[in-house]
């Protein structure tokens, strides 16, 4: 994934998480660790679609909502 695009995605995930009053620990799950969320939010890793789907589910938003940053 393009680094600039990944940065926008990371910012969006952080924004949604903050809006819901969740910590990284709150957002973490069996398939996405708090460490992975931290790496993603600081743009130090790439992420699979299945992990993004899990994050969206944990945030209670659609995949479309995750990518609603343009």
pLDDT in tens, 5-64: 999 999 999 999 999 999 999 999 888 999 999 999 999 988 899 999 999 999 999 999
* 66 within a domain of the structure (yes/no): no
* 70 pLDDT higher than 80: no
Q: What SS3 state is found at 44?
A: coil
* 12 within a domain of the structure (yes/no): yes
Top-confidence residue, 6 or 1: 6
* 20 within a domain of the structure (yes/no): yes
* 25 within a domain of the structure (yes/no): yes
| pTM reported for the whole predicted model | 0.87
pLDDT of residue 55: 94
Query: Rounded to the nearest 5 degrees, what angle is found at the Cα of 52, between the Cα atoms of 51 and 58?
Result: 90
Domain count, the chain: 1
């Amino acid at each position: 994934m393009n680094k600039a695009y990944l940065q926008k995605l990371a910012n969006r995930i952080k924004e949604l998480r903050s809006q819901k009053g969740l910590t990284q620990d709150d957002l973490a799950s069996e398939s996405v660790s708090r460490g992975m969320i931290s790496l993603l939010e600081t743009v130090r890793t790439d992420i699979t679609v299945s992990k993004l789907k899990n994050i969206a589910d944990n945030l209670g938003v659609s995949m479309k909502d995750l990518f609603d940053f343009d």
